[in-house]
Structure 1
Amino acid sequence: MSSAIDLSGVFPAMCTPFDEDRRIDFETLRTDAQRLEAAGVDGLVPVGSTGESATLTHDDHVRVVAAVIEAVDDVPVIAGTGSNNTREALELSERAVDAGADALVIISPYYNKPEQRGLVEHFRTIADAVDLPQIVYNVPSRTGRNIEPDTAVELASHENVAGYKAASGDLGQIGEIAERTTDEDFAVLSGDDALTVPVISVGGTGTISVAANIEPERTCAMVGAALDGDYVRARNIHHELGALFRGLFVETNPIPVKEAMQIRGYGPARLRSPLSRLADEYREDLETLLADLEREPTEVADAAEGDR
């Protein structure tokens, strides 16, 4: 492998901000990347599902990745480069490498619903051609096909397949993959904020997180506590963030998180069609839970006070 990357900790799945004409707002994108880096995250993941990759052109992908790399000083940038077919995913991966990405996260091909042997061939084709650490992304609710444990374990033996983003909701399956790849240099990352602490408890190394866009410090504290084995503190922060975890998925991601970004002043809520703004019935609840998070004492604040 041409380079290694530490896949432990918190990696926000970044939003892609748009201006009034639905063009990429690069100034806001750079500012947001710097905000997250300053909050202590361990890396950034642009142009994934949360970054509306499905509505971005290939040139958009590359420009977003390059802008995030340019904006930050000392955190790795893991580019989303998946597609519904192998040729496009390979092209996006190669272009992300040229843009300077440190690693890739590659969703399994959606809509086509390949068999497990097709998934192995797809990921191996990219791993053979692109000498950069790659994270296999399993999210059956979007792709229509689960990456089975045997498939994940087989892929883990490839020197360029460095990790697995788990968003199946099946903790038993996630734990099995962590168990069976213990002897590999292979990270299992939660792709579901509500399951981050449980995933770490069965061998996970961190999270590619939607909620970290809104509460990066708390998310880092929660993951850090879990990785240190302090599950009392990790659980307490998990409970502090529980309403946020639920609120960010009342409609299709990234609709709620973009609304939350606007409420917090981090970026506009604009999305590209066919996604639409958060329904009015959910907006007031989201505003309330965000305000509650700002008002309430936290495990993070308590720890900081104790260090003084």
Structure 2
Amino acid sequence: MPQNDFQGIIPILITPFDAKGRIDTDSLQSLVAFNVDAGVHGLGVALGSEIFKLTDAERDQVLETVVTAVNGRVPVVMNTSAAGTDIALAKSRRAQDLGADALMIYPESFMPTGPEAAFSLFDRLDAEISLPIILQDVPQAPISPDIVRRIVLHASRTAAIKVETLPTVPQVHRMAEKVAGQLTIIGGAGGSYMIEEYRRGARGTMPFCSQPEDFVAVWDHLTAGDETAARNRFDRTIMAINRLGAQNGDLFYHLHKQILQRRGIIATAHVRAPTCTVDPVTQSEINAILDQFYG
């Protein structure tokens, strides 16, 4: 199994569907190869994969396909968050059985009951699961740096925290001040602030999977100490796409799937319902981006 320090570029895979909305495993295998060949440091199956729209059997199908296609070359991270502790544990055991290398989990958020419930969840994960855990700090289930420090005491397998509570840049800074010596700090939100987060202690990011070569290039420049080159590459290839993807609801699914379809990586850009409606003006903006970057 690869080293699980979780530093670097760990894209979250989209789930490709065919025209009838069924999982397209051929396109998913192609997507994995595209990202691994670009030099990514890991791959994730998470909210950006539309996992909340998948049945349990489909979640298994996606994870099995990814694990087989990766074939041990990079760590595979599976999000096993759930509204109930027992469900999260069951999903985590299943992910472990299917070959995931790490879990990513945010505390129960549907009916939050305070930090003690989070401690209980991570206590049980530590006792019952042998995989490393990436905490996820998301707007619907924020985790303060002080709570993270306490979770680490409860769960020795905790290896990293993905910070997505808005605004992410100061939250990364606060988290790094408290736990950078204990956990790897990972940025999220599509990698939009990866340079600013890196300055403040983040040592990885989880962007979308449509531009892996660009994110890897930016990362390589950052770790080499060439922030000017990192900024130039980011502004030239990533910024406009991320800005458009954040324009409305879950438009990012449509945008990144259309990019991958244009690049010949997946067969269709189908997004499962519920999803935002892409109006003609927005589609023209997507088309302009596709023509500008991918001919």
Question: Would you call these one fold, judging by a TM-score over 0.5?
Answer: yes
Select the structure with the greater relative contact order (CA < 8 A; seq sep ≥ 6): 2
SS of match in other structure, 2:289: helix
Mapped partners of 2:263, 2:112: distance in 1: 38
Partner of 1:176: 174
Q: Percent identity?
A: 26
Q: Supply the AA of the counterpart residue of 1:205.
A: R
What TM-score does the superposition give when structure 2 sets the normalisation length?
0.90
Partner of 1:226: 222
TM-superposed CA distance for 1:224, in Å, is: 1.9
| Structure 1 alignment gaps of length 5 or more | 296-308
Mapped partners of 1:124, 1:259: distance in 2: 41
In the TM superposition, what whole-angstrom CA distance separates every residue of 1:167-195 from its partner, at most 9, and x where no partner exists? 113322221211222332x1111112211
Mapped partners of 2:118, 2:193: distance in 1: 25
| Structure 2 alignment gaps of length 5 or more | none
1:275 partnered with 2:275: yes
SS of match in other structure, 1:254: helix
Partner of 2:103: 104
What TM-score does the superposition give when structure 1 sets the normalisation length?
0.87
In the comparison of the two structures, how many residue pairs are matched?
287
SS of match in other structure, 1:50: helix
Mapped partners of 2:110, 2:196: distance in 1: 29
Mapped partners of 1:135, 1:113: distance in 2: 20
Distance 1:3 1:13, change over 3 A: closer
Mapped partners of 1:14, 1:128: distance in 2: 29
Q: Supply the AA of the counterpart residue of 2:145.
A: P
Distance 1:72 1:84, change over 3 A: same
Contact 2:78 2:103 in 1 (8 A): yes
Contact 1:271 1:277 in 2 (8 A): no
Distance 1:282 1:230, change over 3 A: same
Contact 1:3 1:133 in 2 (8 A): no
In the TM superposition, what whole-angstrom CA distance separates every residue of 1:26-63 from its partner, at most 9, and x where no partner exists? 111111111111111111112x1111111111221122
Partner of 1:123: 122
Distance 1:21 1:292, change over 3 A: closer
Mapped partners of 1:277, 1:265: distance in 2: 24
Distance 1:37 1:84, change over 3 A: same
Contact 2:8 2:205 in 1 (8 A): yes
Mapped partners of 2:17, 2:247: distance in 1: 22
Contact 1:200 1:227 in 2 (8 A): no
Partner of 1:300: none
In the TM superposition, what whole-angstrom CA distance separates every residue of 1:89-138 from its partner, at most 9, and x where no partner exists? 11111111101111111133232233233223223322332111111111
Q: Supply the AA of the counterpart residue of 2:217.
A: A
1:149 partnered with 2:145: yes
